[in-house]
Chains A and B, each alone.
Chain A
Amino acid sequence: MERLRLEQVSKTFGSHLAVDSLSLSVQAGEIFGLLGANGAGKTTTMRMVLNILKPDQGQIYWKGKPSYESLRKLTGYLPEERGLYPKIKVSEQILYMAKLRGISRTDAEKSLKYWLERFQVLQYYDMKVEELSKGNQQKIQFIAAVIHRPEILVLDEAFSGLDPVNVELLKDSVKDLRDQGTAVLFSTHRMEHVEELCSNICILHRSKAVLKGNLKELKQKYPRERVQLKTASPVEGLERVKGVLQVQSTENGYDIRIADEASAQQLLSLAMSQTNVIKFEVKEPSMNEIFIKAVGGEKNE
């Protein structure tokens, strides 16, 4: 079920075109990756989704409607720049934000307790935000974004600045919310998170969508151009195989770039003829590579 749809949305600030006719659609129970270099237009897109900014052109549909009367209840937002009242107790400000979202106090209280417990920080209920560590503040910020069970959740760099344990904790929470049917619009610079979480992505570059679609399908469209090879002893003459572009010796063996997939089999037989092959893999392109390719070799921002 479609939760969010952008149709040919454009936004201009003065003479600067921040978002250029962007279209995308996010389903319930889906994490949609909105990717792009800094200044590509991600934040502007998110602000339009949250109705903080109005698009100059195009139309946004929330649950199929071009305007939604209680958007503040429908959407949740974790901004890239963290922001909480430093001198106010955790419980007070979360309950305040819940109240602004139109949630009853008892519901908010229950929900807050649930999340604090889940993040193992129940003892912070009565503490001021400035007394918490950065990672814990981020958990509180996350709770502020989801306290009212939004159907559309916008996460801008949700996991930055967290240690690996806490990243897992938050990632699991995002996955849970997805499984409960939340539509998540997710932005990050960490491509491994995209691979792990997102089913569909859109890469923005200089205000335009340069690549869009299902992550698996996109990967299949990209040729498999990398071979990873691990052998018992060194292999001679890998460079001379037809179609090989570059051979790199690594600690684990060889990292080989090829022009087309056919060369892979020749590499394998060459290696097998000389020594024992421990590992051989024709790798699909990583999200990192796809991103760099999409955004282009040209030096950008």
Chain B
Amino acid sequence: MNELAAVMSFTLKNKLKSKAFIVTTVIIGLLIAVFVHLPLIIEAFSSEEPDRVGMTEDESGLAVQLKQYFEQQSNPAIEIVILPQQGTAAADLAQAREEIESGELKGYLQLSDDNRQEEHAFPSFVFHSKGTMEFSIRSSLERALQAIKMEQMVDELGLSRQQIAALTSPVSIQNVQITSEAKEGRSETEVVIAYILVYAFLIILFMAVAMYGNMIASEVTAEKSSRVMEVLISTVSPVKQMFGKIFGTCILGMLQLAVFIIIALAGLSLPYNRAALSGLNLNLSDIPFSLFAYFVIFYLLGFFLYGTVFAAIGSIVSRTEDLGQALMPITLLILAGFYIGLFGLNAPNAGWISAVSYFPFFTPLLMFMRIGMTEPPFWQIGLSILIMLASILLMGWLAAKIYRTGVLMYGKRPRWKELWKAMRSTQ
């Protein structure tokens, strides 16, 4: 037991001290901190001032109406600047163009002559601006004009206020989830939170398993290629070595994840961020505690299942250069699980997704996704955990056997047949 602890602490200590680890932790930590504050940063950089759009005075009075419409808003996106008439449309445009060039105006809204002759027809417009992607200005203008047009038409039709209100009120649909149990289903915001959370956790699970798995494999291969292995196997049994390394990396991973999660949560619970979140009707305390617990359970299960496989693969490769290729199949397996998980977010009740969520290599991602998005009966969760535990034992046993053989085999990567033969002849 002492040796296991020694291998664990050695793995952990050296990784914690390694430059690569410190640098990645700091960089990802900073990225998370920035990401959490993204709304605030965007707000800080975008000006409070409304965009100024020019319009020429006109007998229809639309320019004034539009100006008034925006002025009535509490926080208008656009301010209409009325320009004096110059006689011809071309001169009007030239005048506006100068203002745009000098930066006084963001754009110029020109009435087009196309359908002015028709009675009751609302004029059409041309928007001149330097940018090509002024969608937000355009849609603001469109909304405003639509409202003005509506008012005009309504006036002409002589409808009452109530009638107008009834006409313009939006249609409402509310989502309530039906679950197998008698209790009330989840509300819409709960589902949104679950969706975001499961999405985030899927990414974390996927990244963690892939990243730390690779770490285990490359450490084993590095020990082999630097031939430290020769000395190590004469001091510690390969099985203890392997599990020491997996446990050590697991603790390392949890420490790193804890740092990231603390940064994220600390950022989110800052007063201004909390206000922004509650503005969206999202509240961190709405997240069910059980989801966190399941996250930890499935993280650990996934880590150990993949960790043993990564260690076994690392042990049969003698050169670091060959490792990537050897890890390809298992990497693809994780990727497949991840993409099925993402797909499943939008169809968590699909039969085939429930079915593949019992496949141990997919369970951590898919069963977790199902728990987050739907409410699978408890026996299903229990069954998948049992299957995972059994597979971890099986893979651990097999990986230990491969490891014990693999660490002594040098040269070309052995084929399965050679490995099998060698496995039978060692011990």
Contact residues of A with B, CB < 8 Å? 12-14, 47, 50-54, 56, 72, 75, 77, 79, 81-88, 92, 96-97, 99-102, 141, 144-145
Contact = CB atoms under 8 A, between A and B. Distances in A.
Interface string B155-173: 0000000000000000000
Given A12-B425, A99-B6, A83 B234 contact: no
A47 B233 CA distance: 10
Nearest to A100: B235
Contacts of A83: 223, 226-231
Interface residues of B, number: 25
B427 A53 contact: yes
B249 to A, nearest CB: 16
A86 B427 contact: no
Contacts of A145: 231
B230 A81 contact: yes
Contact of B231 (A54, A87, A97): A97
A116 B28 CA distance: 41
A79 B6 contact: no
B14 A53 contact: no
Given A96-B10, A100-B7, A100-B232, 15 more contacts: A12-B425, A50-B234, A51-B234, A53-B426, A75-B234, A81-B230, A83-B227, A83-B229, A83-B231, A84-B228, A85-B223, A85-B226, A85-B228, A99-B6, A141-B231
B226 A77 contact: no
Contacts of A99: 6
A101 B233 contact: no
Contacts of A92: 14
Give the secondary structure class of B's interface. Answer: helix
10 contacts: A77-B230, A83-B223, A83-B226, A84-B226, A85-B14, A85-B226, A86-B226, A92-B14, A100-B232, A100-B236
A111 B3 CA distance: 20
B2 interface: yes
Interface string B1-40: 0110011001000100010000000000000000000000
B422 A79 contact: no
Contacts of B263: none
Chain B CB within 10 A, most for which of A72, A99, A102: A99
A75 B235 CA distance: 9
Interface string B410-425: 0000000000011001
A83 B6 CA distance: 19
Nearest to A85: B228
A82 B235 contact: no
Contact of B227 (A82, A96, A100, A144): A82
Nearest to B425: A13
A14 B233 CA distance: 22
A79 B231 contact: yes
Contact of B6 (A14, A77, A82, A100): A100
A79 B227 contact: yes
B230 to A, nearest CB: 4
B83 interface: no
Nearest to A71: B234
B231 A144 contact: yes
A85 B233 CA distance: 14
Contact of B230 (A12, A72, A79, A100): A79
A96 B422 contact: no
Nearest to A15: B421
A14 B426 CA distance: 10
Interface string B205-248: 00000000000000000010011111111111000000000000
B408 interface: yes
Contacts of A101: 235
A217 B227 CA distance: 38
Given A81-B227, A84-B228, A100-B3, A52 B425 contact: no
A91 to B, nearest CB: 13
A225 to B, nearest CB: 41
A211 to B, nearest CB: 28
Chain A CB within 10 A, most for which of B6, B236, B408, B422: B6
